[in-house]
Chain A
Amino acid sequence: MRRSSKPMSRKPISRRAVLKAGAALTTLVAAPGVLRAEPAPVKVGLLQPISGAFALDGDLAKTGAEYAVKEINDAGGIKTLGGARLELVIGDSRSNAEAGAQATEDLQGAGVSAVLGGFASGIALTATQAAARYGLPFIVDCAVADTITERGLKNTFRFNPNFSMATELALKNLVKLNDDAGKPAKTVAIVHEDGLFGSGLAKLMQEKLPPLGFEVLESIAHPTPARDMSNVVLRIRSLNPDLIVPSHYFNEFVLFARTLQQQRVRPKGIYAVFGGAASSYRFVNEFPEAAQGVMDCNHWGDPKNPITTKLRETVTAAGKFYAYNTPINYSLVHVFAQAVEKAGSADREKIIASLATNEFDSGLMPYGKTKFNDKGQNTSALPLNTQVQGKDIKVIYPANYAEAKPVFPINS
């Protein structure tokens, strides 16, 4: 736009000058696209473990988030901000808590309007409080520790179900599964790793299973990493439980399932909650026999949504194995975009207010309408029950998302 360089004149304003100015103003109003600059992009941080022990998860999450950003930008960006584009800024948490906080500081330095992700509970805990110092909105993706949303941090929201919500549903569905099959399972052995994940779950299961009619024969703990599961499986063989409830990370889960297979221990069912490998295509692909019939209650995208298929194809085409990180982070970006859209601003405070008060479509996640409570927890979030059937992972519960009927007992 040209600016008039003419100095102010003391002459009275002529009619011609008024007409000229009027014409210029009309042109300005009539052609906003030509004269107005493109709106500033909305920067959004994605905090994921791009390197380190969880690099695989971080990579899958990034694929999902990038897909969503492209989709939103291709559809015209944020409408209430004049079509502002989303710009994804990646922060590498290096799979540890300190680097997670440091990466959050880096994202803050990059001027993002919000941070999405976190992945593991330890990282999410330090990163959300680092963000809280700047009033930077933070939406957690798949970290489950209940405490994340119980610290009174106004900036922190969690999209996924927390540990208590997930285990409650997992137990309810386990009872239903058993009842529907004529109650074949009466005894349970719990095998768990000794960290936050496994110990917490084992404790809860030991408390809750007996009142539901299951006898817990034993709870067997093992460290992570574990190199050998022979003794654990030998113990299980002697206990001969109807049902095994495992809770470990990927490698240990795979090792455990393979050892069960090698030693021909065939329980009526394996029912995992947030199982490390039970909902992993890598496991299914590499050890199809060991994986057969394994059930899990975990984060999982709506299998009937066509975008789920597209995302899975994108991940598979890149030579990777699809997992829940991709649909969660895809959906998270969409929730964020809706929050900005409804706030009509990229201002952090307004985004926090928008997240706290509005309802959002949940993208690919089976959450219906996402609604955050006063602590920042999405009250609609729920995990899905899956089972490895053939070479695929099928949703078996709840009915409105189910693709297949549960196969239980598996070794009758």
Chain B
Amino acid sequence: MTGRGLLPVAAAVAVLAVIPFLGISGSLLNLMIFMMIIALAAQGWNVLGGYGGLSSFGHAAFFGVGAYAMAILQARYGLNAWLALVIGIALGALFGAFIGFLSFRSGLKGSYFALVTLAFAEVARILANSANFTGGAAGTILNLQSGVAFLQFADRRVFLLVVLAFVAIGLLATWWLEHSRFGAYLVALRENDQAAQALGVDVFTVKLKAIALSAALTAASGCLYAQDYLFVDANIAFGSWISIEALFAAIVGGAGTVLGPLIGAIVLLGLGELTKGLSGGIPGLDLLVFGVILVLCVAFSPNGLVTLLRRLGIERRGFPAKTAKEA
């Protein structure tokens, strides 16, 4: 195992940590926080979908568990925000393991697995929408109160650093995945799970661990979302939007790569904001421009923007040798 591949990871985190202190506007800071939250959700998706080849359409289920746990534990039980964060992540991982246990035991993969995850997220959305415990359709609201114990800061740059720390953990986890035996097993079963099984890989356990790790990262993103916007309802927490954002960012950036989800989230959301200025007052034109640019990105770099960077000669060692699709 070598630490050399960590250089681009460290550089990316360092640059992102410095930007908020360069006197950027509140608007840009807000955008950066949202970008990092989506990047974290996408990193979660990437562990399972990118490395494990198990594409999920329902990562909203994990995001939602994290978001609701964070909101309910604080608002209803008065728990410390940091403790709620830890419990939220743990519950997300547990829920991931539960869905994984049911799906993998039945040998579900490919589109069947994708549909099952989608169904779980939808069921969770409907339950959260009707249960009193979650605040029903009215959702759960957190109070605006600054303080370290509340994980809310008068200076929002501090919150960005907290989110960034989680993104860094996500990057390290994926980097570890690439260099560990566990990661090798995961990639092996992505390529051919029967062959991997024949070689002695415990496919069920590996998949289960992968979905738990994936769910934990996405749940962390949900927790931070709830903490940032201080409001969660069923459509925000378990809505299909976050499942789409997560897989979109990971795929556009480069599924099965360390930096792919982060780059994907920054480019997608950054592009969305940039095109806002191009609309010239015509409503919806920015979304059209965004769509065209996105089509071009995917057309010229179908394996993710990371491969585009590699082709342009920017990358040397930081990105892994091959992405999921190239391999």
The residues of A with any CB-CB pair to B shorter than 8 Å are 50-51, 55, 58-59, 92, 96-98, 101-102, 105-106, 108-109, 122, 125-126, 129-130, 132-134, 145, 147, 151-153, 194-200
Q: A194-B130, A197-B137 are in contact. Are A130 and B283 (CB under 8 A)?
A: no
- In angstroms, Cα B34 to Cα A181, docked, is 56
**B26 on the A face (CB < 8 A):** yes
The reply to whether B231 and A195 contact each other, CB–CB distance below 8 Å, is no
A-B CB contacts (within 8 Å), total count: 85
User: CB < 8 Å: which of B25, B30, B284 contacts A101?
Assistant: B30
- In angstroms, Cα B137 to Cα A197, docked, is 8
Q: How far is the CB of A127 from chain B (nearest CB, A)?
A: 10
The reply to whether B26 and A109 contact each other, CB–CB distance below 8 Å, is yes
User: In the complex, which residues of chain B have a beta carbon less than 8 angstroms from the beta carbon of A194?
Assistant: 126, 129-130, 137
12 new A-B contacts, CB < 8 A, other than A105-B26, A109-B26, A125-B141, are A51-B284, A105-B29, A108-B26, A108-B27, A126-B231, A133-B156, A147-B138, A152-B143, A194-B130, A199-B129, A200-B136, A200-B137
Q: How far is the CB of A206 from chain B (nearest CB, A)?
A: 14
Q: How far is the CB of A102 from chain B (nearest CB, A)?
A: 6
- In angstroms, Cα B229 to Cα A96, docked, is 12
Q: How many residues of B contact A (CB 8 A)?
A: 31
- In angstroms, Cα B129 to Cα A288, docked, is 34
The reply to whether A151 and B144 contact each other, CB–CB distance below 8 Å, is yes
**B271 on the A face (CB < 8 A):** no
Interface of A is mostly: helix
- In angstroms, Cα B273 to Cα A55, docked, is 18
The reply to whether A102 and B27 contact each other, CB–CB distance below 8 Å, is yes
User: CB < 8 Å: which of B27, B143, B144, B283 contacts A51?
Assistant: B283
The reply to whether B27 and A105 contact each other, CB–CB distance below 8 Å, is yes
**B236 on the A face (CB < 8 A):** yes
Q: How far is the CB of B112 from chain A (nearest CB, A)?
A: 24
Q: How far is the CB of B13 from chain A (nearest CB, A)?
A: 23
User: In the complex, which residues of chain A have a beta carbon less than 8 angstroms from the beta carbon of B284?
Assistant: 51, 55
Q: How far is the CB of A318 from chain B (nearest CB, A)?
A: 14
Within 8 A of A (CB), among B203-245: 229-231, 233, 235-236, 241
Beta-carbon nearest neighbor of B30 in chain A: A105
User: In the complex, which residues of chain A have a beta carbon less than 8 angstroms from the beta carbon of B29?
Assistant: 105
User: In the complex, which residues of chain A have a beta carbon less than 8 angstroms from the beta carbon of B137?
Assistant: 194-200
The reply to whether A122 and B143 contact each other, CB–CB distance below 8 Å, is no
Q: A51-B284, A55-B284, A134-B26 are in contact. Are A122 and B31 (CB under 8 A)?
A: no
User: In the complex, which residues of chain A have a beta carbon less than 8 angstroms from the beta carbon of B25?
Assistant: 105, 109
